């Protein structure tokens, strides 16, 4: 008898010709997730199992963060031949619980002497007799004990929801513009959940932004990598570009021009990294640079698709997601971002593209961008 983890995945995406490819990716990611715990991952009859882990809670924590996993159940694997022992184990697992229960049984070994209804009846009766504080409710039970008869008997009660989504790397790669704020990590998570691999770009304006602000962003990237696996973070020096914009461009446009440079550089780094799209944490009307006209002005300098998964979300909804995925606390640390320095008093909310293009002409764009890319530091996380 041993303790294992039963892993359920999204059947919907795993049909047809792509199934072996999806399954391989999913299993690779689960293997990677449990590698530090000595876990052994295996498949049997269309199910994924993890066994031989050193710490069940840590194993659950990691596997429920693998995109493509829908739920997990801690389970006991035991010899199926002694049905009395199976019933005794079932009663042991139900004893700490209170309220109502039912037993569900599934039998893939059709030669097993008891069929599914008989397993449910016998095990249910045994539990009622040996755990008298429980009662049966077949319609709305508080707890469902699952008994599966395969090569062994598998018993489980608890079903822990996981992150869902699609296996990482099955839907290309995108580049996340990652600030230290609440929004961009959530945006990255939402796209990554669809099976999209990430790389990140962060702009810092040392010495106006501190070393601690940079560390905070890398910490956010590390939290994201619990879901996404290994990621490359490009840390781009942005001070010179900001200083030049501040010195030479009309104040109302400084933020938008700065954002256009962020997009241009992100696209160049994304292309180098094999990413096919950009991701930002913008949502309509949240700040002056996120009005519809302003978004149009930032989009026009890049040719890649720009994904803005938070576009229709309220701040309170974004915060809720940030709390769920575990980035909120780190995002709330009060360090400055390069967007918060040099902010104009009256930013343009209805900018005109021609005026911005003209305002930008005073800058030596190619040289500024080349220098920023030259000075970029690459940090691997995960």
Q: Where do contacts with ligand ATP occur on this chain (CB under 6 A)?
A: 177-179, 181-184, 201-203, 262, 280-282, 286-287, 289, 337-339
Shortest spacing between CB 287 and Mg ion, in angstroms = 9
Nearest residue to 52 (alpha-carbon basis) of 31, 71, 70:
31
Stretch that binds Mg ion, among 132-140, 154-162, 179-187, 365-373 (CB under 5 A): 179-187
Cis amide leading into 207 (omega within 30): yes
In the bound state, the residue with its beta carbon closest to ligand ATP is 181
The DSSP element (H or E) to which 305 belongs, if any, is none
CB of 264 to ligand ATP, least distance (A): 13
Stretch 273-312 residues interacting with Mg ion (CB under 5 A): none
286 binds, among Mg ion, ligand ATP, none (CB under 5 to 8 A by kind): ligand ATP
Whether the CA torsion 292, 294, 298, 300 is positive or negative: it is positive
Indicate the residue among 181 and 347 with the shorter CB distance to Mg ion.
181
CB 5, CB 72: distance < 8 Å: yes
Least CB distance to Mg ion at residue 337 (A):
5
User: In the stretch 329-348, what mask flags binding to Mg ion with x, by CB under 5 A?
Assistant: --------x-----------
Q: At its nearest, how many Å lie between Mg ion and the CB of residue 190?
A: 17
β-strands 153-156, 69-78 pairing: antiparallel
Other beta carbons less than 10 A from residue 132's beta carbon: 8
> Is the CB of 29 or the CB of 193 nearer to ligand ATP?
193
Q: Candidates 64, 179, 255, 331: give the one binding Mg ion (CB under 5 A).
A: 179
Backbone torsions φ then ψ of 266, nearest 5 degrees:
-60, -40
**74 vs 181 by CB, closer to Mg ion:** 181
Least distance CB 11 / ligand ATP (angstroms):
34
Rank residues 25 and 259 by Cβ distance to Mg ion and give the closer one. Answer: 259
Q: How far is the CB of 369 from ligand ATP (least distance, A)?
A: 15
Query: What token pair was written down for 218?
Result: 């890398």
> Going edge to edge, which strands form the sheet with 173-177?
306-307, 277-279, 173-177, 197-204, 231-237, 377-381
Quote the tokens at residue 294.
């302003």
Least distance between Mg ion and beta carbon 180 (Å)? 7
Assess 181 for contact with Mg ion (CB under 5 A): yes
Of 273 and 337, CB closest to Mg ion: 337
CA dihedral 264, 265, 268, 273 (to 10 degrees): -130
Q: Which is nearer to Mg ion, 181 or 185 (CB)?
A: 181
**Residue whose CB is nearest to Mg ion in the complex, by number:** 181
Which partner in ligand ATP, Mg ion, none is near 280 (CB below 5 to 8 A by kind)? ligand ATP
Q: Give the one entry of Mg ion, ligand ATP, none that residue 284 binds, where binding means its C-beta sits below a cut-off of 5 to 8 angstroms depending on kind.
A: none
Nearest residue to 31 (alpha-carbon basis) of 57, 69, 3? 69
Shortest separation between residue 78's beta carbon and ligand ATP, angstroms: 49
Q: Can you read off the two tokens belonging to residue 202? A: 């962060």
Residue 290 CB, shortest distance to Mg ion, in Å, is 10
The three-state (H, E, C) secondary structure of 86-154, written as one string: HHHHHHHHHCCCCEEEEEEEEECCCCCCCCHHHHHHHHHHHHHHHCCCEEECCCCCCEEEEEEECCCEE
Q: What angle do CA 221, 382, 196 make, to 5 degrees?
A: 70
Size of the site for Mg ion (CB under 5 A): 3
Closest CB to ligand ATP among residues 63, 368: 368
Residue whose CB is less far from Mg ion, 112 or 208: 208
Q: Which of 273/282 has CB closer to Mg ion? A: 282
Given a contact cutoff of 8 angstroms between Cβ atoms, the answer to whether 341 and 254 are in contact is: no
> What are the residues binding Mg ion (CB under 5 A)?
179, 181, 337
């Amino acid at each position: 008898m041993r303790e294992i983890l039963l892993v359920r995945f999204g059947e919907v995406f795993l049909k047809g010709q792509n199934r072996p490819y999806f399954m391989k990716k999913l299993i690779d990611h689960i293997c990677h997730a449990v590698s530090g715990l000595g876990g052994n991952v295996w498949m049997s009859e269309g199910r994924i199992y993890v066994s031989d882990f050193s710490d069940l809670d840590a194993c659950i924590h990691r596997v429920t963060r693998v995109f493509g996993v829908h739920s997990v159940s801690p389970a006991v694997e035991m010899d199926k031949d002694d049905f009395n022992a199976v019933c005794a184990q079932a009663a042991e697992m139900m004893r700490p619980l209170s309220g109502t229960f039912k037993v569900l049984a599934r039998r893939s070994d059709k030669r097993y002497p008891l069929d599914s209804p008989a397993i449910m009846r016998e095990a249910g009766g045994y539990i009622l007799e040996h755990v008298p504080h429980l009662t049966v409710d077949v319609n709305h039970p508080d707890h469902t004990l699952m008994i599966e008869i395969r090569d062994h008997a598998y018993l489980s009660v608890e079903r822990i929801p996981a992150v869902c989504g699609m296996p990482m790397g099955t839907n290309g790669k995108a580049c996340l513009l990652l600030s230290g704020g609440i929004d961009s990590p959530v945006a990255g998570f939402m796209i990554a959940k669809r099976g999209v691999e990430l790389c990140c770009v962060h702009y810092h304006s040392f010495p106006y932004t501190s070393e601690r602000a940079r560390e905070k962003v890398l910490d956010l990237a590390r939290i994201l990598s619990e879901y996404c696996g290994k990621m490359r973070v490009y840390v781009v020096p942005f001070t010179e570009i900001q200083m030049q914009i501040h010195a030479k461009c009309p104040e109302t446009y400084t933020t938008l021009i700065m954002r256009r440079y962020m997009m241009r550089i992100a696209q160049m780094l994304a292309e180098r990294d094999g990413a096919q799209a950009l991701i930002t944490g913008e949502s309509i009307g949240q700040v002056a640079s996120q009005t519809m006209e302003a978004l149009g002005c930032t989009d026009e300098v890049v040719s890649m698709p720009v994904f803005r998964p938070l576009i229709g979300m309220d701040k309170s909804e974004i915060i809720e997601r940030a709390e769920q995925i575990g980035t909120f606390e780190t995002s709330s640390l009060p360090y400055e971002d390069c967007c918060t320095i040099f902010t104009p008093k009256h930013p343009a909310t209805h900018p005109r593209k021609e005026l911005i293009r003209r305002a930008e002409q005073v800058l030596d764009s190619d040289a500024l961008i080349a220098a920023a890319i030259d000075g970029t530091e690459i940090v691997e996380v995960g």
